[in-house]
């Protein structure tokens, strides 16, 4: 097929010049992922939540460390009967420390550890989803760009045909009907091209939103729009999913948290032992009697135990056990759901590899057919309707091949996310 004169220039101008602000910057897929890892809004929020969980995870929050307090109080009394005024100022420094609370302190610290681990696991899920979104967004840009090239080729063919019919009409070899038909086809193809320009710009903007990039950078996308047809072993992928999937890992943590809640409920059956110690100073001021002050210290040990709470502790343990059982059921359901999704994606991936091969063959045949048809049209062997039909066949075949490439890329990205591959690749 004849290479068109203008399409490459138009595409280059669209890629480099539709955003006049800023200097054009080359952007590979890995660059896009790195930008998203820094700027993506959802990821920034998730990392902040993980940081909060880390701050909350300490022995003081679990109750292991003692608390120290200072008290200062004043008292003023006037005895009406004796007509005496007295005042006192009390200051005290006290320490309170729970020595034993039915293993609740260590259990609470374990819970805080799990909550921090769960926050990190949720961040891992956000990272995986963000990487997948970047891949989809980046190749969506390339898909729209390639569609624009195809429409540019078709538009230029229609323009050449329109100019050809006008030239023939000038020499009396074509009628007005043929010229108008060629003009309508050209204008229709030009409108489709203009609409595709909008689709391309929208795809670029959507990618910028995913990246969280507000710099207004004008990117030149350096990746090739092609799909790697990697062969996978289904059994290996299932094993990898069960061991590496981030959502499933988070569910394991939820199960451990449920077990922790059961142990915390059981700790209520134990007594608690606490220590309190301190020092206090009492100053008395009175006009009738001499003022004075007294200094005292104290150290007390308290053992407490709730003998009966109306069955509240027992019911709390039963509820915690049920929640633990629910978490186990949710884990089994999640495993089956993920396995089902993996099987569906694997089948889709295998089919899409075959469809891509078929689409490639179709495009080659349609391109050759359109080249031959162009020569026949100029030789008068076929009419304009036949030539237009052949153009549309090529357009549909080229569009389908581009869509098949994109579908294969997206499906492979989903398989990688489902098996925890993004986290391993990113080293998170």
For residues 25 and 219, the answer to whether their CB atoms sit within 8 Å is yes
The CA distances from residue 235 to 218, 232, 343, 347, 423, in Å, are 44, 9, 10, 13, 20
DSSP assignment of 308-332 equals --TTHHHHHHHHHHHHHHHHHHHHH
- Chain length of the chain: 428
Does this model's pTM top 0.95? no
Tokens 């689709």 belong to which residue?
199
Alpha carbons 224 and 139: distance in angstroms, whole number: 9
Residue 293 placed within a domain:
no
Residue 290 placed within a domain:
no
Alpha carbons 127 and 422: distance in angstroms, whole number: 8
Residue 25's domain comprises 7-65+102-270+309-426
Q: Tell me which residue of 144, 179, 149 sits closest to 164, measured CA to CA.
A: 179
For residues 237 and 419, the answer to whether their CB atoms sit within 8 Å is yes
pLDDT at 13: 43
Residue 240 placed within a domain:
yes
DSSP bridge pairs for 4: none
Residue 76 placed within a domain:
no
Total domain count for the chain?
1
pLDDT at 23: 65
Residue 219 placed within a domain:
yes
Alpha carbons 402 and 77: distance in angstroms, whole number: 92
Residue 38 placed within a domain:
yes
Residue 48 placed within a domain:
yes
Alpha carbons 105 and 97: distance in angstroms, whole number: 12
For residues 149 and 7, the answer to whether their CB atoms sit within 8 Å is yes
pLDDT at 264: 92
DSSP assignment of 11-63 equals HHHHHHHSS-SS-EEEE-HHHHHHHHHHH-HHHHHHHHHHHHHHHH-SHHHHT
Q: How many CA atoms lie within 13 A of 261 on its CB side?
A: 19
Tokens 């203008």 belong to which residue?
6
Alpha carbons 318 and 321: distance in angstroms, whole number: 5
Q: What is the CATH number of the domain that holds 321?
A: 1.20.1600.10
pLDDT tens, N- to C-terminus, the chain (428 residues): 333 344 443 444 444 444 444 567 899 999 999 999 999 999 999 999 999 999 999 999 998 899 999 988 887 776 667 667 777 788 889 999 999 888 899 999 999 999 999 999 999 999 999 999 999 999 999 999 999 999 999 999 889 888 888 888 888 877 888 889 889 999 999 999 999 999 999 999 999 999 988 766 688 999 999 988 889 999 999 999 999 999 999 999 999 999 999 999 999 899 999 999 989 888 776 665 556 677 888 899 999 998 888 889 999 999 999 999 999 999 999 999 999 999 999 999 999 999 999 999 999 999 999 999 888 888 888 888 888 899 899 999 999 999 999 999 999 999 999 999 887 554 44
The Cβ of residue 134 has, within 10 Å, a number of other Cβ atoms equal to 23
For residues 108 and 81, the answer to whether their CB atoms sit within 8 Å is no
For residues 276 and 300, the answer to whether their CB atoms sit within 8 Å is yes
Element (H, E) at 428: none
Alpha carbons 175 and 399: distance in angstroms, whole number: 33
SS3 375: helix
Residue 347 placed within a domain:
yes
């Amino acid at each position: 097929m004849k290479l068109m004169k203008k399409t490459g220039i138009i595409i280059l101008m669209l890629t480099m010049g539709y955003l006049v602000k800023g200097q054009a910057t080359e952007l590979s897929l890995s660059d896009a992922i790195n930008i998203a890892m820094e700027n993506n809004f959802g990821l920034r929020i998730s990392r902040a939540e993980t940081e909060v969980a880390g701050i909350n995870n300490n022995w003081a929050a679990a109750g292991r460390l003692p608390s120290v307090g200072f008290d200062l109080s004043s008292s003023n009394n006037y005895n009406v009967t004796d007509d005496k005024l007295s005042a006192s100022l009390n200051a005290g420094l006290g320490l309170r420390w729970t020595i034993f609370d039915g293993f609740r302190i260590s259990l609470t610290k374990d819970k805080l550890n799990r909550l921090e681990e769960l926050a990190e696991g949720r961040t891992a899920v956000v990272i995986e989803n963000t990487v997948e979104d970047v891949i989809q967004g980046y190749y969506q840009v390339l898909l729209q760009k390639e569609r624009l090239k195809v429409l540019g080729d078709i538009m230029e063919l229609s323009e050449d045909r329109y100019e050809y019919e006008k030239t023939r009409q000038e020499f009396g070899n074509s009628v007005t009907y043929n010229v108008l038909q060629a003009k309508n086809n050209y204008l229709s193809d030009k409108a489709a091209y203009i609409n595709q320009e909008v689709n391309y710009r929208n795809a670029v903007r959507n990618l910028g939103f995913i990246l969280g990039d507000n710099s207004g950078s004008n990117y030149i996308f350096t990746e090739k729009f092609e799909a790697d047809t990697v062969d996978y072993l289904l059994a290996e992928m299932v094993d990898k999913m069960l061991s590496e999937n981030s959502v499933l890992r988070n569910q394991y943590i939820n199960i451990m948290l449920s077990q922790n809640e059961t142990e915390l409920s059981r700790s209520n059956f134990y007594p608690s032992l606490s220590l309190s110690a301190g020092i206090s100073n009492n100053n008395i001021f009175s006009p009738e009697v001499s003022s004075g002050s007294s200094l005292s210290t104290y150290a007390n040990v308290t053992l407490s135990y709730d003998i009966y709470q109306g069955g509240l502790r027992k019911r709390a343990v039963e509820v915690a056990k049920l929640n633990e059982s629910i978490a186990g059921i949710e884990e089994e359901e999640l495993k089956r759901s993920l396995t089902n999704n993996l099987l569906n994606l694997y089948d889709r991936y295998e089919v899409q590899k075959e469809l891509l091969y078929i689409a490639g063959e179709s495009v080659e045949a349609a391109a050759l057919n359109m080249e031959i048809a162009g020569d026949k049209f100029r030789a008068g062997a076929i009419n304009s309707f036949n030539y237009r039909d052949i153009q549309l066949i090529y357009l549909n075949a080229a569009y389908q091949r581009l869509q098949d490439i994109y579908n294969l890329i997206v499906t492979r990205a989903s398989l990688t996310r489902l098996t925890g591959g993004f986290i391993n690749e990113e080293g998170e």
